[in-house]
Every structure is written in structure tokens, then in C-alpha cells.
Amino acid sequence: MRSLANYALDLAIFLESSTKYQSFKHGVYRILEDPTCKYKKYFDFFMIFMIFSSVLILVGEVKIDLKSYLLYFNIYIISSVFLMEYILRLWVYNSNSQIIIDLYERDTFLNKKLTIFSIIYKIGTKKFEFIKKPSSIVDLLAITPFFHEVRLLRVFVLFRVFKLFRYTQSMSLFYSVLKTKKFELVTLFFFVTLVMSVSAVLIYVMEANNPDSPINTMYEAFYWSLVTISTVGYGDLYPVSDYGRGVAMVIIISGIAVLSFSTSIVVSAFNEKFDEIKDQKVLDDIKKVKNFYLVCGYNELSRNLLTRLKNNGRNIIVLDSNHDAVNLALKDGFRALNFDPTKSKSYMELDIDLEKNVIKVLSMYDSDVQNIYVTLTLKSICENIKVVAILQKKSNYKKYQLAGVDDIIFTQELIGLTAKELSGKPIAFEAINALRSIDNEIILDEIKIDERIVPHIDELLSIVKNGYKVILIGSYKIENESFSFYLDDDFSIKLGDVLLCIGKKDILNELKIYLRR
Amino acid sequence: MTAFIFGNNEYTNEIYENISDIYDKIYVLTQNKDDVDKKNNILYFDLSDEWDDLLELMIEETGVAFCVLDNDANNIFLTISLRARFENLYIVSLSTDDESSTKLKRAGATKVLPIVDITASVIFDIIEKPISSTMLHTIMYEKTNLKISQICIGDKSNIVGKYLHDIDFTKIIVVAVIDHNVNTEFIFTTQGHNHKLNIDDVLVIIGYDDDIINFKESIGAI
């Protein structure tokens, strides 16, 4: 007869091989846990709304008689949502079926029999890892009003507020920053505890037997110590004897030290982590960007080019090992990271699909050595990635080709060609330069003939022929990589061609929309 | 016509290579005495006002001077020195940033070539408009019969006084007009088809070699 463990194994294999189940679970995981998922923010907003509603109802209920449906909504609906979320988080935390399969494989290898107890133990241990996490404990406690209507338990409303922290990054960020100063904070805690305990005992000894003194118990002594050392000083309890006031003076001075010490710990922790926090923020942003130019090296040329790309609506990410260059790029409004583009580790940390997400890499360093290094690093990670690089010395041209640079830009050659054009046809050169300029409203643009435009080709030709707003220069035939001049006798336009037009930027954009209507 | 390239570096080599078939004579003027090679027209110069040797060479002021020194400050000083001595010389100067461009213009450069701007615009075209970029490269640097050209309208031309939209451009495309009487800005035909053509206007056209020659003949520009 088949054992329970065998049924569990069958079910595990079925679930592991089911693409529908796996994609559904992955989808749920992404919505709950993956900050790069575009639907996560909607889920987070929904949960924040639920928490606020719940807290408002619970707070309002203290003094006002609320309508019963509001209480019903709070106790059953909101709590059910929280419960459902908790169960889903518990479910996606790990893969039980994978645990069962791993156990089976291990036991088969060791010639042991798979038992239901080992499965339950292993799964239970893993799930307990989730349950004991502080955020999970808060989640669980936030559900409690669902089970209890006892008034005392309404204190659990606090946990609903704490639950908010799950959906805001600031708290986790604050926690991670303070974590780096654990030793200093623990030292401070012990110092405060020691000073408070000594002062509480002293003040109790000095004041407890004095009939005029409001401090009569150890609890009051501790309370007074804490209020004084924190420099709050309510004034409800105070020493009346000379000895008691002496203790108060010592604790007040200690309070100033404690306050400045704790402030400096927090400030220095933030200062030390500031760059890391900024980089992390950019990294999180990058994960959400789908298509972008990866720019290695930030200098005057990069700045000029990136401004043009940004104005053209392109996403850009800058990598530079120079801290000042990164700061300049950030100041100029680009996403920039203090990562070394010549190291594979930098791209590992970026954690992006280079082939899928990077349109092109622009290696903009002033040094040929750096540009070749960047190209080789990138090509060794992703062979198909396209690299455009600046060449400084013509003698290195062949090396660029060997490294695999797809487009080599030799500035000196461009200047030579410009000088030639300027010498022969200066005005024609100026006209073309004006069409290239980012500030000019008349531009040379490309219109790709796609399936939506094909039915309107005759209309397009008629617009060009009878109007003056758009000048058609010709069409580029992708299939045979040839250019056909508009005034050629055999000029024709076909699907896939790219038309070159001159016109006002806005009019060309409108024309494209009109043709694709 | 004679061209003078001031400075001896990678830019000099590229400029020399590209303009060698346009000018009758090209002189390279270097600040490094070791580079001097009089047989190959590589001469020495310094930034003082000792222009005696140059004056001999620059008999005609219709030549072109390319200022491509490595240092922006020296380039600006060279430009202003040339302008002070040769009032009508066509001076082309390289600049590495916007600040130097402004100074070079003030120093009297006829044309400033901003290296960063030119490189950035070419890279932008290559990556964002690869087809336009290829086409521009083809027509500008004469790899086919299709060319971009400029026609200056002389006083004998039969299109003087006519509007752009009245002229028959069956074989060529007019991209822009420059009207020196109004200003030096381009009037692109997408906006200026109502422009009345005057003497000294310059048309920027695209067409095949033969068609451009025929057009020039038909309007009496040759």
C-alpha cells in the first residue's frame, strides 16, 4: 500500500512540473515581495489603505459609537485580507514541493525510505523561519482583532500601524543604517541603563523617606530618571532634598552626553551609509528600467551626448569608477552609479539582463586602454551586446575591432571630414549641421513604414507633393541596404522601408501619428 | 588657394588628408622645431608676433587657416593674432568646450568647430538615427553621385525676384535658403516656401551631379 509520503511526493512532482502552478506562484511572489514588479505598488497602496481604514475605525471607536457595518468591516473584512496576505506570504516563502523532491533524492541516494515525518519536519522548520521573522510576527499580531473582541486586545491596533513599515522602505532603510552601529548603540544602551539604575536607586534612597517629596516608590524613581536623562523633564516628579537635587544635576549632565552621543551615532551611521543608500536607490530604479543606454565613463562628451538622448526620451544609466564624475552625472540629472565598468562584478551587482535591456553600451573614456577594457569585459559577459566606443589614437583602430567594438568613433576623423565639408561647401555644411542641432526646430527624421502606414502610402506621397511642410529626401531599403532618392523615376515605398524627411519636429510627429491612425 | 594648419597633431593629419584635394597648397605650421620639414611644407612658428615667414606665404589673404593647437588658450591667442594681422583671412578654430567657443568667436574666428558638440551629434545620429546618419555621410562625403550642394544666386540669374514655390524643382530638392540681406540664419523650405529670392541668396540643394549642373545652367547660376 502506498504511504502518505509517496502521495506527497507525487503531488510535489506534479506541482513542480506544472507551469501554470509555478507561474501563478511566481506572480503572487512578485506582487508580494519583488520591488521591481510593476503591480506591487498597487498592492502596497491597497494594503496601506486597509491599514489606515482599520486604524481610523479602531481609534474612532474609543469615543464614538460607530455604525455596526464599520466594525464588521474592520473585524472581518480587513482582518480577512490581512490573514489572506499572511497565508500567501507563508506559501510563497519557499517551495515545499522542492523540499519533498530534495528529501526523496537524498533518501534514495542513502537507500532510506522517505517518511511523512521527515517531510513535515523539514517543511515545518522552513516555514518556522518565516514565522519567527519580526515582520511576520507583526503581521500575525495585526490579525488578532479578527479572533478577539476583548477590549484589552485592542492594543494590537499598534501592530496594524507597525504593519505599515512593511510597505514603506524608509523604516527598513533606517533599520539597516542603525544596524551598522550595533556596537555603539549597545554600549550606549548599557551606559543609559547603568546611569538610570544608579540614579533611580540614589534618588529613591534620598527622597523616599522625605514627606515633601513626590518620589515615593522605585517605579517613580525609575520614571523620574528616564524623564530627566532624556532631557524631557515633565516636572510632575522632582527631588526636593539637597542630596536629591545633587543626583538630579549629575543625571542632567549625563542626559546631555547621552543625547549628543546618540545623535552623533545616528548621524555618522547615515553619513557612512549615504553613498551606499544612494547607489541602492539607483539600483532599485535601474531594475525598473527596461530599455536604456549604458554609458561607461562620464565626461564633457558624455554629458553633451546624454543630454541629446535624454531630450529624445531615452533612459540612460552611467557607470564610472570616479566618484566626482558620478556626482556630476547625478547633479546633471542622470542615473549614475559609482561602479567600475571594467569589472564583471559591477554588472553582476547591477543584476540586469544586458542583452535584453541595454540598447547599446557607450564607452566614452578618454583612454583607449579603458575603452578596450570595458568592451572586452562586456563582450565576455554578453557576446551580442552592441558597443560604441571613442577612439583616441588611430593606431589603436585594429585593437578596437579585435575587442569587438561595433561602432568606432574617431573624433579626429570627424573633424577632418568637417574641415573638408567646410572648405568645399560651407553653407551646405551649415545647413546639415543645423538639421542635426538639438536646438533647431526643423529636423531630419526617419519614418519607418510599418503595417499601419502601408495603407496610407499614397496619402503620404500626396502630402509631400502638394504641401511644403515636409520634404521627403528618399527611402532606405533595409533588405538591400540601398538608398532610393525621392526624385528617382523608379522611386517607390514598401513595407519595412525607412523614409528620410525634413520638417518641423512637431509636424513630423503629428504626421507619424496621423499615418498610423 | 592655400591652407595653413597651425599645430601638428592627430587633428592635423586628418584635416590634411581630407582637404588635400581641395587646396592647391597646404602648409603645416608647428611649434616643435624637431618636426620642421621644409620639403613637405612643415614650417616652424611661435606665438609671438614674428610673422615674417608667414607674411611671405600669406600673400593672398583668401587662404584658410586651421587653428588646431592642443591648448585652448594658445588656440585663442593664435586666432586673435591671425585676425589682428590678416583682416580677411578665413579662420577655422577647434574648441573643446562652450566657453572656448565663445572666446574664439570673439577672437575673430570665422568658424569654430566644437569638438565635443560635433562628436556628440554624430554619435547621437549613429545610435538614434542610423539611416539618416548613413545617408548624410554618403551625400556629404561624396561616396555616390547624389550630393548636397550650394548655389549662390548671381545678378544674372533668372530666378531673382521669384518665389521658391514658383520655381520648377523636378530633379532636385531644395533644403534651405540663406538670405544674406536679412540675416545669416537658414530658411528651411518647409517654412520658407513663400520666400522671394534675391541676389546673393544661397540655395542648399540635394540632387545628382548632372541634375545639379543642369539646374545651375537653367537658372543662370553658372
Chain A residues touching residue B121 (CB < 8 angstroms):
308, 433, 436-438
Under an 8 A CB cutoff, do B150 and A427 touch?
yes
Rounded to 5 degrees, what are φ and ψ at A480? -115, 15
Domain boundaries, chain A: 4-167, 182-272, 289-414, 441-515
Q: Which residues 106-165 of B are in CB contact (within 8 Å) with A?
A: 111, 113, 115-129, 131-132, 134-136, 138, 140-141, 144, 146, 148-150, 165
Chain B residues touching residue A507 (CB < 8 angstroms):
190
CATH superfamily of domain region B145-219? Regulator of K+ conductance, C-terminal domain (3.30.70.1450)
Segment (H or E) for A160: helix A157-167
Chain B: closest CA distance from residue A503 (Å): 6
Name the residue in chain A with its Cα closest to that of B147. Answer: A428
Name the residue in chain A with its Cα closest to that of B95. Answer: A415
Q: Which fold has domain B2-114?
A: Rossmann fold (3.40.50)
On whether the CB atoms of residues A37 and A31 are closer than 8 A, the answer is: yes
Name the residue in chain A with its Cα closest to that of B208. Answer: A485
Of the candidates A301, A407, A485, which has its C-beta nearest B120's C-beta? A301
Q: CATH number of the domain at A289-414, please? A: 3.40.50.720
User: How would you write A279-307 as a 3-class SS string?
Assistant: HHHHHHHHHHCCCEEEEECCCHHHHHHHH
| A50 Cβ neighbours under 8 A, 6+ residues apart | A78, A81, A82
Chain A: closest CA distance from residue B102 (Å): 17
**B167 in contact with A, Cβ within 8 Å:** no
Domain boundaries, chain B: 2-114, 145-219
Helices (H), ranges, B20-147: 52-57, 72-85, 98-107, 115-128, 130-140
Under an 8 A CB cutoff, do A502 and B126 touch?
no
Q: Using the structure block, give the residue that is written with the C-alpha cell 509631400.
A: A464
pLDDT digits (tens, 9 = 90+) for B27-81: 898 888 888 888 888 888 877 766 666 666 665 556 889 999 988 899 999 999 8
With respect to CATH, is domain A182-272 assigned 1.20.1250.20? Answer: no
Pick the residue of A358, A368, A502, A512 with the most B CBs within 10 A to test the interface with B by mutation. Answer: A502
What's the CA gap between A102 and A121, in Å, rounded?
14
Specify the pTM: 0.67
User: How would you write A10-75 as a 3-class SS string?
Assistant: HHHHHHHHCHHHHHHHHHHHHHHHCCCCCCHHHHHHHHHHHHHHHHHHHHHHHHCCCCHHHHHHHH
A181: which 3 cell numbers?
552601529
DSSP A444: E
Query: A408 — alpha (psi -120 to 50), left (phi > 0) or beta?
Result: beta
Rounded to 5 degrees, what are φ and ψ at B208? -80, 155
- pLDDT per residue of chain A (517 residues) written in tens, 0 to 9: 568 888 998 999 999 888 899 999 999 999 988 877 878 888 888 988 888 888 888 778 778 887 888 878 877 888 888 889 999 999 999 999 989 988 888 888 888 888 899 999 999 999 999 999 888 888 888 887 655 555 555 666 677 777 777 776 666 777 777 788 888 889 889 988 998 999 999 999 989 888 889 999 999 999 999 999 888 889 899 999 998 899 899 889 988 888 888 888 888 888 887 777 777 777 877 877 888 999 999 999 999 999 989 988 899 999 999 989 998 998 999 989 888 999 998 888 888 888 888 999 999 999 999 999 999 999 999 989 999 999 999 899 999 999 999 999 999 998 898 888 888 777 777 777 777 776 677 888 888 888 888 888 888 888 877 766 788 888 888 777 778 888 777 888 888 888 888 888 888 888 888 888 7
**B202 in contact with A, Cβ within 8 Å:** yes
Under an 8 A CB cutoff, do B11 and A504 touch?
no
Q: How many CB pairs under 8 A join A and B?
A: 185
Nearest to A149 by CA among A53, A65, A79: A79
Q: CA B105, B110, B115, B119 torsion: positive or negative? A: positive
Q: Which fold has domain A441-515?
A: Alpha-Beta Plaits (3.30.70)
